[in-house]
Structure 1
Amino acid sequence: MFLLNTTADYRLALDPRDEKTLDASAAVEVERHLASRRDHGVTPLVALSGLASEIGVAAIHVKDEGHRLGLGSFKALGGAYAVIRLVLEQAEQRLGRVVDMAELHSPDIRAVAQAMTVACATDGNHGRSVAQGAQLVGARAAIFVHSGVSDERVAAIARLGAEMIRVQGTYDDSVREAARVAEANGWIIVSDTSWPGYERIPGLVMQGYTALVREALRQMPEPPTHVFIQSGVGGIAAALAGHLAIALGESRPLFTVVDPARAACLFETARAGRPVTIAHGEPTVMAMLECYEPSLVAWRVLSRAADAFMTVDEADATDVMKRLAHPVSGDPAVVAGESGGVGLAGAMKAVADPAVRAALSIDGRSRIFVVNTEGATDPGKYQEIVGLSPAAVVAKNREGALT
């Protein structure tokens, strides 16, 4: 399914709150935090020239977040950054003075952090980021996971020292339970989705994602003409669409939000012209995107800055995983998890459909940008789908580079 953005807010300026969250000065603060992290490195931008030639566009660039901060997902940028910002703010209140990012590991700040508990619901990746942020500063983390989250993903979060709390039901059920328990215990919810009265912290999470697009714009020889970004509740799509709109203005690329067909809350919200909650159906293999209600903050940005919305099917997601692991001649292999390659799957589906291709003005001069939002965060599931282990794909890539 595909539709152009016809909402009343389309192409309006961003809400001043969102502009402040996603502008260049905010992104500089994120990069300043990242520069202080021992495990930080700019993630690769991979050119798929062979695939671009095959589908008839000028370029395809993939920002590979499977390498981000040791967590294997773009979410490493958001939750941890929000936790650190909240600790610094709490320290300023307790100490009665301005606290700089450089003081984060001082005894005074650590004493403040040790008295704090942060909590969130997660499909896997956001929880790892929140837990990592808490571990960095010495805070406690309580992570709520629904029944569909694999044991392997739960164990990966627990290894970061977080208390794991299982919740029966869906991701949205775990969000509600996390909010209820946190309020009862005086914990701070660090969610990547927002609801009425709860917007600022999800905004900080989105702010963390601006580092990704800032890096990519510096890495690309030219800015993209088209962007396809996958969506769960909408956080990464909104962060990228909003920052690109601010940074590039009228020259910004055409931006398409890509949903799983089985969990298309942003697509249905765009169709309705207002936030809607969709019915739970059959689970999707795109587990990190299985969300049934959009983030209100994300929708406020996307209603203005996204140009189109589309869905992809289960086979689209698994086929692109295999395609990236076994690329066309000359292209490097990319390890993409079940949700990682969904933006590229959307781009390929759009290019293959003459009506969609025309609606988005895609031609031989188009430069497409997508994000591999996760590597093999569940290695067993990855091998089951692709037929190779993540290590085997990496080794094959290394061998190809040497020949």
Structure 2
Amino acid sequence: MLIRNQHPDYRKPLEAIDAETLGVAAAETVERFLARRPNHRPTPLRSLPALAGELGLGAIHLKDEGYRLGLGSFKALGGAYAVIRLVLEAAKQTLGRPVDIAELHSPDVAKISATMTFGCATDGNHGRSVAQGAQLVGARSVIFVHGGVSNARVAAIARYGAVMERVAGTYDDSVAEAARVCAVNGWTVVSDTSWPGYERIPGLVMQGYTAIFREALEKLPETPTHVFIQSGVGGIAAAASGYLACRLGEARPTFVVVDPARAACIFETARQGKPVKLQRGEPTVMAMLECYEPSQVAWRVLSRVADAFMTVDDETAVEVMTLLARPLGHDPVVVAGESGGAGLAGLLVAARDPDMRAAIGLDATSRVLLVVTEGATDPDRYRELVGLTPGDIAITGK
């Protein structure tokens, strides 16, 4: 299912705060912070010419975030970046002077960060980023996970020294519990979703994601005509559309936001024209995107610069995982987790449907940018769905 953006704010300029958060200067700040990370490397940008030919498109390029900062997910950019920013801001307030990123591990800053605790809710990837960021600065982290988060993902977070708290219910229930417990204890919530009165930190998280698209534009042979991007609560979709709109203006690509059909909070919000909280239904295989309420700051951006919204089913998500593991022709092998290829799933659905192609202007000249947002962050689940382990793919090249 695909709908065009009919919101009254569509095509209006971003609000000043959002343009500042997601604009060109902000992305340059993110890059300056990343340069201080010893394991920072731009992630690969892969071309899929055989698949583009199969779908009747001009080009498909895919940013592979499975290689991001050792965490295997784009979320490595958001939570850890926000934690570092918040530590430096606390140091500035305490020391009464500006504190640069170069001082992050100085004795004065370390003394301050050691007193700080950061908490968040997560489906897996965001929590790892917050925990890693806290470990990097010598702070404490407490991560809240709901019952649907696999033991493998919990263990992956705990490896960064996080205290893990299980919460009954959905991701949204864990968000509420994290906010409650952090408020009681005086801890700092580093959430990737926002609510009334809580926008700045989710804005910093989204700001971290702009690095993906800054890097992509540096490597792409031509500006993309289309971007298909998965949403969850909307953070990465807002970062993509906001940054590229700020940087490219009227030359920006068509943005298509992709939701799992079983957790389509952004799609339903777009359809109704206002933030919608969904009732929990049957779980989706796209576990990292299983969110039932949008981030309000993300929706504020998407209502202005997203062009279309669509849903994809679980079967197409698994098809994408297999297609990337066993690619057409000489296209490169890509390891994509259950949620990682949702943008490509949206492209497959749209490219195969004549009405959808026409609605968003897909044709033989289209140049599509996609993001594989995560690798096999749960290897057992990956093997179950694809029939191969990530190691099998790396060894055999199939």
Name the TM-score, length of structure 1 as normaliser.
0.98
Where does residue 270 of structure 1 map in the other structure?
270
Where does residue 372 of structure 1 map in the other structure?
372
Where does residue 43 of structure 2 map in the other structure?
43
1:70 partnered with 2:104: no
Amino acid at match of 1:12: K
Where does residue 4 of structure 1 map in the other structure?
4
Give 1:348 shift.
Answer: 1.0
Q: Quick one: distance in 1 between partners of 2:273 and 2:281? A: 22
Where does residue 24 of structure 2 map in the other structure?
24
Q: Percent identity?
A: 68
> Within 5 Å, which residues of 2 pair with 1:89-128?
89-128=89-128
Give 1:170 shift.
Answer: 0.4
> Within 5 Å, which residues of 2 pair with 1:161-172?
161-172=161-172
Q: After alignment, is 101-110 or 146-155 more displaced?
A: 101-110
Where does residue 313 of structure 2 map in the other structure?
313
Question: After TM superposition, what 4+ stretches of structure 1 lie above 2 angstroms from structure 2?
Answer: none
Where does residue 251 of structure 1 map in the other structure?
251
1:131 partnered with 2:153: no
CA deviation digits over 1:109-138, x for unaligned, max 9?
111100000000000000000000000000
CA deviation digits over 1:26-75, x for unaligned, max 9?
11111011111111111000100110011110100000000000000000
Give 1:394 shift.
Answer: 1.5
| Unpaired stretches in structure 2, ≥5 consecutive residues | none
Q: Quick one: distance in 1 between partners of 2:326 and 2:152? A: 25
Amino acid at match of 2:124: G
Q: Quick one: distance in 2 between partners of 1:362 and 1:149? A: 36
Give 1:158 shift.
Answer: 0.2
Where does residue 144 of structure 1 map in the other structure?
144
Give 1:235 shift.
Answer: 0.1
Amino acid at match of 2:235: G
1:214 partnered with 2:183: no
Aligned-pair RMSD on alpha carbons? 0.6
Q: Quick one: distance in 2 between partners of 1:94 and 1:151? A: 39
Does the residue aligned with 2:68 lie in a helix, a strand or coil?
A: helix
Q: Quick one: distance in 1 between partners of 2:162 and 2:364? A: 49
Q: Quick one: distance in 1 between partners of 2:98 and 2:329? A: 55
| Unpaired stretches in structure 1, ≥5 consecutive residues | none
Amino acid at match of 1:268: E
Where does residue 361 of structure 1 map in the other structure?
361
Amino acid at match of 1:374: E
1:240 partnered with 2:240: yes
> Within 5 Å, which residues of 2 pair with 1:172-183?
172-183=172-183
Give 1:396 shift.
Answer: 2.4
Amino acid at match of 1:134: A
Q: Quick one: distance in 2 between partners of 1:395 and 1:115? A: 45
Amino acid at match of 1:175: V
Give 1:392 shift.
Answer: 1.1
Q: How many residues align?
A: 398
Give 1:17 shift.
Answer: 0.5
Where does residue 87 of structure 2 map in the other structure?
87
Where does residue 223 of structure 1 map in the other structure?
223
